[in-house]
Structures are given as C-alpha cells and as structure tokens.
C-alpha cells in the first residue's frame, strides 16, 4: 500500500516494517514496546485522566493534548506484561507525537493494514490498535472544538 | 520416560491430579531431559521479554493453526512442529502462559487432539512463577530437534463443530465469555465494534460461566470443592453429561474444558472452537440475547 497518505514519521515506520522478515517485524514491535516513554507525573499520579481502550485485550490507557501551537502530544500506558499492546502504542507515539493536529486526524482509520503485521498478529489485536488511533483522533477533535 | 507426578495435596483432590504441576515441582524438574516446558501466551511478544529457562514458545496464531484453512495443523504439520520444538512422543510437556493460562490451556487442548500422552499445566502459569521471583531468561533454548511420529488428529472426542453443536441444542452448553458478551451488550457499544461478529448474544440454552471464575486471583485453579460448587452446583451439570463449551474462538473455553475434564473428571466435554466468531456470524444459526443475566 502506498504510504503517501501518511505523515513522513509514520510512513518511515511502515516502510521499516515492510522491509524486514515477519520474524524481524515482531522484534521491531518489541523494540517499540520498550521505547514507549513513561507517563509524566500528571498522568502517572492521576490515571483517571487517561482514557481506557477496551478494544484491546490488555489494559491500555491513552491521553492526548493539543498544545497552543496546534501540535499533538500523546501519552499512553500499558502493563509491561502486554508488550504487543505497548508496541502499538509505541508505534503511534513514535509516528505521531509532536505532529500538527490536522496531520494526526488525517491518518487513515485502517492504519494497521499498512503495517505488514497481519500475518503475525491476530486480527483482534489489530482492531485494538486501530481503536487506539480512533480514540487519539477523537480526543484531538474534541479539543479542537472545545 | 514420563516424569513423576506432582503429589502436592491441593492437586491430589482433583480427578486427574497428574494433569497439573505446581511451580515447586517445575523448579525441581526443570533440568530433566524428558521434560519440555512450552510457553503459550495471549501476548505473542511476552516470551521474548523473558521466559522460564529452557522453555520453548508455541505461538497459537502462527504455529497451531493451519494458515489457509480455519483448522489446526494436520499430522505432518504437528510432527514437524514437535520436531522443531524438540518434543518426542514420550516427552512430558508442561504448558504455562499469561492470563491464568488461557492460551496454555488452549495449546494443551490442541496437543490433546493429537493424543500427546503426557501433557500438564503449570498451576498459576507465568504470573505465579514470576510472583515467586523464580528465574526467567531471554536466552534462546538450546534443544536438539526430535523425531515425532505422524499421528492423525482425533477431533471426535474433545472438539465440537458447528453442525454438531446445532444437534446438541437442548443439552448442556457453557458459554465462558464475559457477561456482556453473553447478553449481547458488548456489540452494542457505540462506534466501536469489538469482536468482529455481526450479532451479539449466545447459543440458545447456553449457561454463562465466565472462564475466570474457575481461577483464583493468582491464576491457579480454584479448589475441587469450589469448582464443583460452580459447575455442578450453580449451573447443575453432572459429570456424566455430554457438555459443549465455547467462547470467541475456543481459547478461553479450553481453560474451562481443562477444568471440567481433568479437574472434575467429566466424561464428555467438547470444545467448540468455531465458537462465537462462527456461530454469531453463520447464516440461519439461532441465537438468544439477554436471558439468564449472569452475575
């Protein structure tokens, strides 16, 4: 699938996944799970400010902030024993954090179809990842119209 | 040579105590060459973050399923998998995993389709092993490949197919999904279809016992008396009943299949692995909604 519709930072990740073998894709996903930054104090100490993503089989929580300059900050957390869930959160964080709100909203809802992971990750997990993006986008929209 | 059974007193109460081992037993036998420990997780990356030393990973999604037909491996595929994992026909296999052993029980059930003689579950699974600060490693296991015979899968005893379930209507059926999935509420959530099925609800006549009710907080199985109170007491099953269990794709119901078959000694329990993803989508299959709302 063409990645022209994606922001360059996310397109690069998509291309990286496509370039390696299925086994290495899992390794990459694991690396993204390890690169997900810890929550800042204002969320770590107030988990109620994060939105739950029940579509994921494992607990996943996300908050999104649109700064005055219109850029998006994404904060996500999932248990260490859920590396796949953390991995998807890590991909979205690496690919979308700091982008303008319009760019985040423009990411297609079927983003997981771009990720070359359908052979190695179950459909339910991919739906969970898509739901994470859906919630990030909805949070951004709500803040733009607030 | 199969390994000795775990003589732990809690396990001794179960109908088939030889099907479970404690973390103590496993720690003691970990270096036995006739033992292979298999980790099978819901989260397919978990093994890579650390596993019981020497254990091999079995990925339910890519290794137990045929990749073209919705079915399990055939005899040749299973023999090849076993050979690759270093498991012989006389090897004792102990399964463990995350989520109170959902997928470990599922893998054990698939091995049982091939009649692998000695399969056991680690009571409490991965979480208990870790909670006890027992050793974990990221080192890849170093096992020689094995010779495994071609054994035909025997689906008749412990697996149910859609048409058989339809014939079975009126007889005991246990739906082990969450309450919201059972009543059909879950698919009604605005904007977020969750399970990939067209309709929410359950197979007519099914009794709801969410799988996790068979497990303690620490992931171990409840005691025999507690399990009897649940399955024989609360929903009135008898150990001589012909029972079908199901969930979404047959993974959580493998946990309940294990409890009914090996811990309570039921004669005939079949796991319907087509489960809700098949029944809930299939043309002309009747369903029920929101009856007997469970706890």
Q: What is the pLDDT of residues B58-74, one digit of tens each?
A: 998 889 999 889 999 99
Over pLDDT 70: what percentage of chain A?
97
CB contact under 8 A, B49 and A55: no
The per-residue pLDDT for B190 is 37
- The alpha-carbon gap from A83 to the nearest alpha carbon of chain B, in Å, equals 6
CB contact under 8 A, B45 and A33: yes
CB contact under 8 A, B61 and A120: yes
CB contact under 8 A, A55 and B192: yes
- What is the C-alpha separation between A18 and A49, in angstroms, rounded? 35
Q: What is the dihedral of CA A55, B191, A114, A52, to 10 degrees?
A: -30
How many A/B residue pairs have CB atoms within 8 Å? 51
Contact with chain B for residue A59, Cβ under 8 A: no
Contact with chain B for residue A121, Cβ under 8 A: yes
The per-residue pLDDT for B193 is 44
Q: What is the dihedral of CA B207, B279, B199, A130, to 10 degrees?
A: 110
Task: Give the model confidence (pLDDT) of A71-85 as tens digits.
Answer: 999 999 998 889 999
Degrees to nearest 5, angle at CA A83 with A14 and B119: 120
- Strands (E) across B74-118 are located at 92-96
The per-residue pLDDT for A2 is 75
Task: Give the model confidence (pLDDT) of A106-138 as tens digits.
Answer: 999 989 889 989 888 887 788 889 999 999 999
Task: Give the model confidence (pLDDT) of B149-177 as tens digits.
Answer: 999 999 999 999 999 999 999 999 999 98
Q: Which residues of B68-96 are buried (b: 16+ CB within 10 A; e: fewer)?
A: eeeebbeeebbbebbeebbbebebbbbbb
The catalytic residue positions of B are 247
Over pLDDT 90: what percentage of chain B?
84
Please tell me which residue of chain A has the smallest CA distance to B248: A124
- What is the C-alpha separation between B79 and B69, in angstroms, rounded? 18
Chain B environment of A110 (Cβ under 8 Å): none
Question: For chain B (length 295 residues), average pLDDT per consecutive 10?
Answer: 92 98 98 97 92 96 90 97 97 95 96 98 97 96 95 97 97 92 66 60 95 94 98 97 95 96 98 94 92 53
Chosen from A78, A83, A110 to mutate, greatest number of chain B CBs within 10 A: A83
Chain A environment of B98 (Cβ under 8 Å): 81
């Amino acid at each position: 699938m063409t990645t022209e519709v994606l922001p360059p930072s996310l397109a690069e990740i998509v291309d990286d996944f496509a370039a390696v073998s299925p086994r290495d894709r899992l390794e990459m996903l694991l690396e993204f799970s390890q690169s997900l930054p810890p929550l800042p104090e204002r969320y770590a100490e107030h988990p109620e400010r994060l939105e739950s993503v029940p579509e994921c089989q494992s607990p996943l929580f996300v908050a999104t902030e649109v700064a005055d300059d219109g850029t998006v900050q994404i904060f996500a957390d999932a248990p260490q024993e859920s590396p796949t869930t953390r991995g998807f959160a890590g991909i979205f964080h690496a690919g979308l954090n700091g982008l303008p709100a319009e760019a985040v909203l423009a990411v297609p809802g079927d983003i997981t179809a771009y990720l070359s992971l359908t052979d190695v990750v179950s459909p339910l997990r991919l739906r969970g990842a898509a739901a994470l993006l859906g919630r990030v986008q909805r949070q951004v929209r709500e803040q733009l119209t607030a | 040579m199969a390994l000795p059974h775990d003589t732990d007193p809690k396990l001794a109460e179960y109908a088939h105590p030889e099907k479970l081992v404690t973390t103590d037993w496993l720690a003691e036998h970990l270096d036995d060459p006739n033992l292979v420990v298999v980790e099978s997780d819901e989260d397919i990356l978990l093994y890579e973050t650390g596993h019981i030393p020497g254990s091999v990973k079995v990925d339910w999604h890519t290794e137990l399923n045929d990749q073209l037909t919705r079915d399990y491996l055939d005899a040749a595929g299973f023999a090849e998998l076993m050979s690759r994992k270093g498991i012989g026909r006389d090897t004792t296999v102990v399964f463990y995993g995350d989520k109170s052993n959902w997928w470990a029980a599922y893998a054990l059930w698939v091995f049982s389709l091939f009649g692998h003689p000695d399969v056991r579950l680690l009571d409490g699974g991965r979480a208990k092993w870790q909670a006890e600060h027992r050793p974990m490693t990221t080192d890849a296991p170093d096992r020689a490949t094995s010779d495994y015979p071609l054994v035909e899968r025997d689906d008749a005893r412990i697996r149910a197919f859609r048409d058989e379930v339809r014939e079975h209507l009126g007889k005991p059926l246990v739906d082990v999904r969450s309450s919201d999935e059972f009543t059909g509420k879950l698919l009604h959530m605005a904007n977020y279809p969750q399970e990939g099925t067209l309709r929410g609800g359950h197979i007519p006549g099914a009794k709801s016992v969410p799988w996790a009710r068979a497990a303690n907080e620490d992931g171990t199985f409840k005691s025999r008396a507690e399990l009897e109170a649940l399955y024989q007491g609360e929903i009135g099953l008898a150990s001589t009943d012909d029972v079908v269990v199901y969930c979404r794709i047959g993974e959580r119901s493998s946990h309940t299949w294990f409890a009914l078959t090996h811990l309570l000694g039921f004669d005939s329990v079949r796991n319907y692995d087509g489960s809700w993803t098949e029944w809930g989508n299939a043309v002309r299959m009747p369903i029920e909604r929101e009856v007997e709302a469970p706890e």
